[in-house]
Amino acid sequence: MTQVDLPQLSLQRYVDLVRRRRWQLVPVSLFGLVIGGLIAFFIPRYFVARTLLEHQQLPSGPTDREYPFRAVVDTAKSTIPLMAGAAIEELKWPEAVALDDFARGQLEREVESRISVSETNGGDKTRSYALINVEYRDQDGPRSAEFLNKLVEVWARERIADLRAPAEEQQVRASTTLDRARGTLADYLREKQDLERQYGFDPELDVSVQRMEWPKEVEARARRLEALQEQRSEVAKMKAALEVDREALAETQPRVAPDSSDVLSRALANPKAAGLAQLWMRAKQEYEQTYQPGTAQYYNSKKKAELILEQIKALVPQPKVDADGLVPNPDFTELVQKIAADKKKLSGLSAQIATKERQLEAEQQAFVVKVEGHGRYSQKLEQIVEAQAAKDAALADLHSATDLLAKLQRDLPVRTKRPAVVPPAPTEPNILLIALIGCVLGLGAAIGLILAFDFLQGSFKTVEDVERALPVPVLGGVAYLETVAEREDAVRRRRRVAFIAGSGVILMTVVVSIFYFDSTMLPPVVRDLLAMILGA
């Protein structure tokens, strides 16, 4: 029969095959059970110690509102195993003391691999704390509990120290900043007092109110400048008038011939000659205005006036005349006196203008200095406000850090809710589970062997195989004829194997059941052996 002529594979075919040879599955399954038990027996057994930690919310509050304890749990999962080295060092394990750095690192990594951290109340989003379960597996039961308690103790101590470190750093930084801000503020206040003394500022009055006086000062100074400009204009006019008077003085003769008008003015001033002066003026008016020149009346009136003038001259003192018959010119004298008075007035006014100019210059300089002082004073006030704000901020940071440290000292965020106790027996790995897995694997191996043997065997199994393989029709078939002795021998072998396997399974089941329900009914050797194998 060629490869093409091989019978077709089908699930029903192999199910029927396994059903016909089911008696072969029992010994192979028992063999797998025995192998699984042996493997489980020789696998190292571990005592699992467990502890429960309670972690409160951090003082800074959650960063994730949906899962408020995610950061806390993630930190615990990543940092608790890293404390294995510190716990081993504090416990002074003999094998760790004798190892070099590399071997000790290998030991720490191995111990870290046997540490597991999980959250037990993660499903409750309304919780106010996180419950963190920590487990450690070790072949020594007392050491597993001791190490786990030391591990969580070291981690809690380091955790609190890590939480305190930023607050302590903030406290030191805030204290330094506060001292610097206080010193700066004191310097600014001292400089402010110096400016107040230097520029005459009122510390009780707001600087903006003091600055409002500037427009009034500017207006008053503008009025003074306007008055000064008017005086300057007046001086210019006086100088021009003085120059005109000087020119007139230069053109006026200092001495002239006596004038009757001058005699008349002196006569009017003299009580004795005042009447004659009036008669002279009427006589003069008559011959100048009433009579025609050349007439007798004109000459008589003029002669009469001259006689009266002679009488007046006799009564009124006459100015002294020089050799040329000249007397001082009153116009010249008046101009000289006027020029002297104007020069005196001009000198006084010029002195006043110079004084006012010096005053205005001093006021301008004082005003500039005051403006500069106001700028410096305002800048210093702003610096004082900034220094005060920096001081308040540093003081707030210091209080915040101090309150946080006090809270961490008063309410520890991490505490052991349930410490680890010594496990009564090793629990990992589960030997019974491994044995059952070995039994299942043995059963699968048996089925696989049956199918493999059937696939590798090239003979016809059924009439259908013959019909598919041969080109001629099948008229009939002859079954394999077993003798009575062969049939009885096969039946006895199957019964023997089934009985032995069943008895072993029943016996094992009964012994394990008695061990779990009442182990005192078993012999001490069997009880100890089962306790070592089953880990109960």
**What's the Cα-to-Cα distance from 97 to each of 84, 88, 366, 411, 501, rounded to whole Å?**
14, 9, 85, 36, 52
Per mean pLDDT, which range of 77-81, 248-252, 310-314, 403-407 is the poorest? 310-314
| Residue ranges of domains in the chain | 11-42+429-534, 47-174+399-418, 215-381
CA angle 328–331–332, rounded 5-degree value = 60
Q: Average pLDDT, stretch 70-98?
A: 87
Per mean pLDDT, which range of 125-139, 284-298, 335-349 is the poorest? 284-298
pTM for the complete prediction?
0.51
Q: Average pLDDT, stretch 462-487?
A: 68
Whether the Cβ atoms of residue 29 and residue 500 lie closer than 8 Å to each other:
no
Looking at residue 222, its pLDDT comes to 83
pLDDT digits (tens, 9 = 90+) for 331-382: 777 788 888 888 888 888 888 888 888 888 887 777 777 777 777 878 888 8
Of the two residues 459 and 115, the one the predictor is more confident about is: 115
Work out the mean pLDDT of the chain and round it to a whole number: 77
Residue 261 has pLDDT above 70, yes or no: no
pLDDT digits (tens, 9 = 90+) for 151-185: 999 998 888 888 888 888 888 998 999 899 999 98
Q: Average pLDDT, stretch 504-529?
A: 71
| Half-sphere exposure at residue 165, Cβ-oriented, CA atoms within 13 angstroms | 6
Rounded Cα distance, 54 and 59, in Å: 15
Identify the CA nearest to 285 among candidates 269, 267, 264.
264
Long-range Cβ contact pairs of 373-382 (< 8 A, separation 24 or more): 373/195, 373/198, 373/199, 373/201, 374/199, 374/207, 374/210, 374/211, 374/214, 376/195, 377/192, 377/195, 377/196, 377/199, 377/201, 377/207, 378/207, 380/188, 380/191, 380/192, 380/195, 381/192, 381/207
Q: Hunting for tokens 């089934």 — which residue is that?
A: 498
Phi/psi of residue 131, nearest 5 degrees: -95, 120
pLDDT digits (tens, 9 = 90+) for 302-312: 788 778 777 77
Residue 1 has pLDDT above 50, yes or no: no
Residue 116 has pLDDT above 80, yes or no: yes
pLDDT band at 514 (very low <50, low <70, confident <90, very high): confident
pLDDT digits (tens, 9 = 90+) for 317-343: 666 656 666 767 677 777 888 888 888
Q: What is the CATH number of domain 47-174+399-418?
A: 3.30.70
